[in-house]
Amino acid sequence: MAKITFITQDDEQITLEADSGSVMELAVENGIAGIDGDCGGVCSCATCHVHVKPEHQAKVGEASEIEQDMLELDDEANEYSRLCCQIEVSDDIDGVIFKVAH
């Protein structure tokens, strides 16, 4: 079971637990403001854009080429940007903190 924390644009911290699925699915199922997942997780929009806390970057890894292409279209993208539909929930990401980009 992984504990994942989201920080919303209003600086609300919400910690959730999960053991499977994507981080985007977890966020949408729990009504995290700013994460919509409009494309359903197929990496064709950026409505699940998050910034990974720098100290957790190694846990989630680098964005794939297609993910980077989508992020280039978002003005809020930076070196810590990820689309959370592309991050699978696992024990490896336990404790990760994501700041919602929008």
Give me the mean pLDDT over the 26-48 stretch.
95
**Mean pLDDT along residues 33-52:** 95
Model pLDDT, residue 102: 86
Q: How far is CA 79 from CA 53, 54, 91, in A?
A: 10, 9, 24
| CATH (one of 3.10.20.30, 1.10.3710.10, 3.40.50.300, 2.60.120.380) for 2-100 | 3.10.20.30
Average of per-residue pLDDT values in the chain: 96
Residue 33 has pLDDT above 90, yes or no: yes
The 10s digit of each residue's pLDDT in 59-102 is 999 999 999 999 999 999 999 999 999 999 999 999 999 999 98
pTM for the full predicted model: 0.94
Tokens matching residue 74:
């978002």
